[in-house]
């Protein structure tokens, strides 16, 4: 699992890695005490003023975040994207999503709906172009929609992500930014040394 710690790679490497891991993906994350999907869902419960109707779950994996958000908002309609067909087939079997798109989260998704919430839980590690991603997310969202994501603290620091957020404060308002929390504490490569932040942003209206 050294590749998991490494993070950013090309699309083919990422796809092959997750295809190979697909059969034991849920079991592994459970054993490693992966709590981010539940933590992110609870943050939305706390800060959202109205029940969201539509969610776009980028890099949705096997649907762990969709499972958690539907416990809180049972009527939410979820669409998802993932780069791994084998991983996506597992989420398809769970019946969590209305639409599933076999695609990198960095590529544009054509949907008939704008979304109340866009999520990227666990996938920001693989983002090669933050600015392009944020532009796409902005366009996916309804006015005053929310973008919730996790990001590893080591990569956050490496790419000066605080400065990037400041550069985008005309488009997004920071509603919540967590302190560093454990990511995969029972994974031997991650332990308690690799931490994440959970961030909730709100879309600002375009200026006239």
Statement: residue 207 has pLDDT above 80: no
Statement: residue 208 has pLDDT above 80: no
Helix, strand, or coil (residue 39) = helix
CATH of the domain at 182: 3.40.50.150
Does 208 reside within a domain?
no
User: Confidence band (pLDDT; 50, 70, 90) for 5?
Assistant: confident
**pLDDT in the model for residue 129:** 94
Statement: residue 88 has pLDDT above 90: yes
Within the chain, what is the greatest distance between any pair of CA atoms? 51
Does 147 reside within a domain?
yes
Q: Indicate the number of domains in the chain.
A: 1
Does 58 reside within a domain?
yes
Between CA 50 and CA 202 the distance in angstroms is: 13
Closest by CA to 194, choosing from 186, 205, 202, 183, is 183
Backbone angles phi, psi at 145, to 5 degrees: -75, 170
**pLDDT in the model for residue 7:** 65
**pLDDT in the model for residue 57:** 98
Between CA 87 and CA 62 the distance in angstroms is: 6
Tens of pLDDT along 180-195? 999 999 999 999 999 9
**pLDDT in the model for residue 11:** 84
Does 108 reside within a domain?
yes
Residues 47-67, mean pLDDT to the nearest whole number: 97
Domain around 120: 2-203
Does 68 reside within a domain?
yes
Statement: residue 9 has pLDDT above 70: no
User: Confidence band (pLDDT; 50, 70, 90) for 3?
Assistant: low
Does 164 reside within a domain?
yes
Does 132 reside within a domain?
yes
The torsion of the CA quartet 175, 176, 177, 179, rounded to 10 degrees, works out to 160
Residues 72-84, mean pLDDT to the nearest whole number: 97
Residues 29-47, mean pLDDT to the nearest whole number: 98
Helix (H) or strand (E) holding 3: helix 2-6
Tens of pLDDT along 115-147? 999 999 999 999 989 999 999 999 999 999 999
User: Confidence band (pLDDT; 50, 70, 90) for 1?
Assistant: low
Between CA 37 and CA 123 the distance in angstroms is: 12
Does 43 reside within a domain?
yes
Tens of pLDDT along 140-171? 999 999 999 999 999 999 999 999 999 999 99
- pTM listed for this prediction: 0.95
Average pLDDT in the chain: 94
Residues 55-78, mean pLDDT to the nearest whole number: 98
């Amino acid at each position: 699992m050294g590749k998991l710690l490494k993070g950013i790679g090309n699309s083919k490497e990422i796809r092959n890695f997750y295809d190979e891991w697909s059969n034991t993906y849920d079991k592994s994350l459970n054993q490693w005490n992966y709590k981010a999907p539940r933590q992110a869902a609870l943050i939305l419960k706390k800060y959202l003023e109205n029940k969201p109707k539509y969610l776009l779950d980028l890099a949705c994996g096997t649907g762990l975040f969709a499972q958690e958000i539907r416990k809180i908002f049972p009527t939410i309609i979820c669409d998802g994207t993932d780069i791994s067909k084998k991983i996506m087939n597992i989420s398809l079997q769970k019946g969590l999503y209305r639409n599933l798109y076999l695609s990198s989260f960095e590529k544009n998704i054509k949907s008939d709906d704008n979304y109340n919430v866009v999520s990227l839980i666990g996938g920001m590690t693989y983002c090669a172009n933050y600015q392009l991603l944020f532009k796409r997310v902005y366009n996916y969202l309804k006015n005053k929609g929310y973008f919730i994501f996790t990001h590893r603290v080591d990569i956050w620091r490496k790419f000066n992500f605080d400065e990037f957020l400041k550069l985008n404060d005309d488009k997004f308002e920071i509603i919540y930014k967590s302190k560093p929390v454990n990511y995969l504490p029972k994974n031997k490569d991650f332990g308690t040394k690799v931490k994440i932040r959970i961030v909730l942003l709100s879309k600002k209206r375009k200026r006239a």
